[in-house]
Amino acid sequence: ESGLRIFVADVSRSAQPKFLCELYKNNITGDKYMLIYKANPTLNNYTDDQIATTNCTREQINEARKGAIHITLLPEFFFEGGNADLTEPKHYKNGKTYVDVLSDIGEVVPPKKPFVFAGAAYDAVWAFALALKATFDAEGVVPGEANAFLRTKDGIEKIYANLMAVDFVGVTGHYTYDATGLRNFYVYVGTLEADGVSIRNVGKYDAKTDVLSSFDESLMWRYKGGEPVLDGRL
């Protein structure tokens, strides 16, 4: 299209309110413009102190990102904040708490250290453990032979192949790898609203099947004027 301009900006968390304020002040909003917003949705609720660093009101900043396409790379299960023992918040879809999810996989939250559990790291180790088990079972490797097997080129290649084939639901959701060895993420796509109505045109992109499908109405979440939903989850 003639006159089309595309701007790409890598804006830090602290600078985002100022950036959105500049968009508003320069009238770079509305139907003529498209803002693609990739971020953690739980970080979209800027504090009063952050708003105070701009020359805009919270309403103006929310107006600047109204209608933006929002893409999140968050895993299927995501929680943030909550009380000390993690019995709150509950997941938006399955109603489970973080403690429930950990219990499902036999993991216990350390006393007085509810936030030290690293779900992504746990799932990565679990994926490697599944690859090791699949390889050892297929090759007939017993514990005493594991070290010698892992030092061979053939052993490494077979473990890698099995690692690329892992497919399970862990603490952070559906876990698979792509052909390049990077973890697939199952992204959620929708458009933001600034007036308190439901997010529009919500879909889920399945990285393994390359399919973008719409959510059923029962799975729709509400995203009110840039304010995150109570369980810290899209």
Give the domain ranges of the chain.
16-73+185-219, 130-182
Contact 131, 162 (CB under 8 A): yes
Contacts (Cβ under 8 Å, ≥6 apart) of 226: 44, 45, 46, 61, 62, 65, 192, 194
Name the pTM for this structure. 0.45
Q: In the prediction, which pLDDT does 190 show?
A: 58
In this predicted model, what pLDDT tens digit does every residue of 197-233 receive, in sequence order? Answer: 344 555 666 666 777 666 544 333 333 233 333 333 3
Q: Which CATH number fits domain 16-73+185-219: 1.10.3720.10, 3.40.50.450, 3.40.50.2300, 3.30.70.100?
A: 3.40.50.2300
Quick one: tokens of 173? 């959701």
User: Taking 60 as the threshold, does the pLDDT of residue 193 lie above it?
Assistant: no
User: Taking 80 as the threshold, does the pLDDT of residue 166 lie above it?
Assistant: yes
In this predicted model, what pLDDT tens digit does every residue of 128-138 receive, in sequence order? Answer: 999 999 999 99
* Closest C-alpha to 204, from 80, 76, 65, 39: 76
DSSP readout, 160-224?
A: HHHHHT--EEETTEEE-B-TTSPBP--EEEEE--SSSPBPEEEEEEETTTTEEEEPPGGG--B-B
